[in-house]
C-alpha cells in the first residue's frame, strides 16, 4: 500500500547485497490470488518473502504452510492492516506478538522480518518488533500495483528504475487492502521483472539471501 508517512532509514529500507534483489509480497495469504503467484514463481524458478497478515493466515492456514513448502520465506505484516494514527503500544505489541506466533505455529518457521502496514513504523511498532526479535524491512522499489489503474506494464515500469543490486521490491499477492483485482497487475509483471534482473546479472530471491544483518 502507499508509503504515506513512511520513514525509511538506511537500515530499515532493505538495502541488501550488491548482486541480489529481494522480492517481497504483502497482504496475503489469499486463496483468491496467492496460488497464482506460487505457480508463477515456480515457473520462473524464483523464491520470495511473503509478509503475511495474521488475520489472513488464520483464514487460510494451508496456504501459509504451502508458502513454506514451496521454499518461500514468511515474514510478519501485522495482524490487521491498520494505519497507526496514534500510539497504542500495548495493542501494538499484543497484535504483533499474535501475528508472529501465528506464523510460527501455522507455518512451522519462526519469522525474522517485519514490515508494518503502509510502511509506517510508529515508535510503538518499532519497539514491539524489536522486543519480538523481528528485523523491520521496508522496501526500496514498489510497483504501485495497488491501484485500479495499474497494469502489468505500469507495475514493471514503476519498478524498473529501482532495479539494481541491493534493491528490495514490494508487490502485493492479495487485494484485501487494494483495488479489487489489482493483484493481477503484480502477477503479470513478474516475468518482466525476472527477465530484467537476469539481464542485469542480479539474483532475485527472498530476504534471507539479501545479506541483511540481524
Ligand atoms: Zn500491506
- For residue 149, what pLDDT band results from cuts at 50, 70 and 90? very high
- With 90 as the cut, is the pLDDT of residue 214 above it? no
What gap in Å lies between CA 17 and CA 101, rounded to an integer? 29
Task: Kindly state the average pLDDT of the residues 82-90.
Answer: 78
- For residue 1, what pLDDT band results from cuts at 50, 70 and 90? very low
- 172 in active site: yes
CA dihedral 77→83→89→93, nearest 10 degrees, is -20
Distance 82 CA to ligand 1 centre (A): 9
Asked if residue 46 lies in contact with residue 23, where contact means CB atoms within 8 angstroms, the answer is yes
- Interacting residues of 184 by C-beta distance below 8 A, sequence separation 6+: 33, 152
Asked if residue 76 lies in contact with residue 102, where contact means CB atoms within 8 angstroms, the answer is no
- For residue 10, what pLDDT band results from cuts at 50, 70 and 90? low
- 145 in active site: no
pTM of the prediction? Answer: 0.94
Q: Which of 72, 77, 81, 172 is catalytic?
A: 172
Distance 156 CA to ligand 1 centre (A): 19
Q: Which of 26, 27, 30, 173 is catalytic?
A: 26
Distance 177 CA to ligand 1 centre (A): 7
Distance 113 CA to ligand 1 centre (A): 14
Task: Kindly state the average pLDDT of the residues 204-213.
Answer: 92
- For residue 210, what pLDDT band results from cuts at 50, 70 and 90? very high
- For residue 9, what pLDDT band results from cuts at 50, 70 and 90? low
Distance 51 CA to ligand 1 centre (A): 8
Amino acid at each position: 500500500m502507499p508509503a504515506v508517512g513512511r520513514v525509511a532509514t538506511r537500515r530499515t529500507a532493505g538495502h541488501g547485497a550488491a548482486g541480489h534483489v529481494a522480492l517481497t509480497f504483502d497482504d496475503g495469504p489469499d486463496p483468491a490470488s496467492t496460488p497464482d503467484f506460487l505457480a508463477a514463481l515456480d515457473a520462473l524458478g524464483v523464491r520470495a518473502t511473503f509478509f503475511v497478515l495474521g488475520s489472513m493466515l488464520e483464514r487460510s492456514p494451508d496456504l501459509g504452510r504451502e508458502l513454506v513448502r514451496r521454499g518461500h520465506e514468511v515474514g510478519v505484516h501485522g495482524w490487521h492492516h491498520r494505519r497507526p494514527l496514534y500510539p497504542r503500544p500495548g495493542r501494538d505489541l499484543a497484535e504483533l506478538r499474535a501475528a508472529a506466533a501465528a506464523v510460527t505455529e501455522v507455518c512451522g518457521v519462526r519469522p525474522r522480518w517485519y514490515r508494518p502496514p503502509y510502511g509506517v513504523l510508529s515508535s510503538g511498532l518499532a519497539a514491539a518488533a524489536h522486543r519480538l526479535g523481528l528485523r523491520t524491512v521496508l522496501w526500496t522499489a514498489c510497483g504501485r500495483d495497488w491501484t485500479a489503474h495499474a497494469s502489468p506494464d505500469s507495475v514493471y515500469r514503476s519498478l524498473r528504475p529501482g532495479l539494481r543490486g541491493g534493491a528490495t521490491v514490494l508487490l502485493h499477492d492479495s487485494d484485501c487492502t487494494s483495488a479489487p483485482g489489482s493483484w493481477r497487475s503484480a502477477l503479470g509483471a513478474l516475468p518482466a521483472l525476472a527477465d530484467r534482473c537476469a539481464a542485469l546479472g542480479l539474483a532475485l530471491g527472498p530476504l534471507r539471501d539479501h545479506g541483511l544483518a540481524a
